[in-house]
Amino acid sequence: MSITEQESWTKREGKRRVEVPTYVREIVEEVAFQAREDKRVDRRSGVSQRLPISTLENVLSSAEQRAVRSHDSAVVARVADVYAAIPAMTGKFELEYEGEMRGAENIARELIRAAIGKTFSKYFANVNFQAVVQWFEIGGELKVPANASSTELLAQLKKIQGLFEHLEALGVRSKDDAAIQTSAAEFILEGLWAQKRISRSEERGYFADARKTPEPRDPREPSGRMPFRQFN
């Protein structure tokens, strides 16, 4: 992480505050470690430090663009910006045959998800998120519009019960800028998705899979026997 910070261009001059949270930096670095261990990535070519360096620069550029579009007062990187940096990743590793069949972009997405899951476990190994998961299980959904301001997104995120109780573990307080709070909250949701506790669509909508309830048994059918059904 020290090498990546030293070699990447992340210093900005302007009115907006610029911040890349530590957990985002850790995810970027973990992507490289995941790639080095993945059997679908060609180990003979290796994965150099250029991957996290280039990725971090693109993460910050993505955050800057969002801040300008949504008129945010601060530039704060989010997990979404790591996904936006996928083109910077795919050119920094070569794939084995199995990886080529899967596709470089898909492999990159899987590496990011694994990196998020591992980083999430570092901060929240023994934390109970049942209240958050339950909110989705009873029908709650959240879609993250790409052009929404941090203030607008913060208002939506606060509807999720129990979510903001866990931001202190990331060093985030209720008085912090909206961009900082939304970044931390999104990281938690992404972490829960990485651990398959909630679901997420490619349009960045968070939800829970509908629970399947067994069909009621026909009282005329004897118990213990499979009913006859005709299929067309």
pLDDT of the residue at 229: 43
**What is the spatial distance between Cα 227 and Cα 224, in angstroms, rounded to a whole number?**
9
Give tens-digit pLDDT for 137-166: 999 999 877 667 899 999 999 999 999 999
Give tens-digit pLDDT for 69-104: 988 989 999 999 999 999 999 888 877 777 777 888
Residues 187, 192, 198, 201: is their CA dihedral positive or negative?
Answer: positive
Q: Long-range pairs for 103-106 at CB < 8 Å and ≥24 separation? A: none
- Reference 206, options 147, 139, 124, 158; nearest CA is 139
pLDDT of the residue at 173: 94
pLDDT of the residue at 12: 78
DSSP string, 123-143: HHTT---HHHHHHHHTT--EE
In SS3 terms, 141-210 reads as CEECCCCCCHHHHHHHHCCCCCCHHHHHHHCCCCCCCHHHHHHHHHHHHHHHHHCCCCEECCCCEEECCC
Q: Calculate the average pLDDT of the chain.
A: 85
**What is the spatial distance between Cα 63 and Cα 67, in angstroms, rounded to a whole number?**
6
pLDDT of the residue at 167: 96
CA atoms within a 13 Å half-sphere pointing along the CA-CB vector of 134: 6
The DSSP output letter for 45 is T
The pTM of the full predicted model, rounded to 2 decimals, is 0.84
Q: In the structure, what pLDDT confidence band is assigned to residue 210 with cuts at 50, 70 and 90?
A: low
Q: How many residues does the chain have?
A: 232
Helix (H) or strand (E) holding 37: helix 22-37
Cβ atoms of 80 and 204 closer than 8 Å: yes
Structure-block tokens of residue 178 = 């909206």
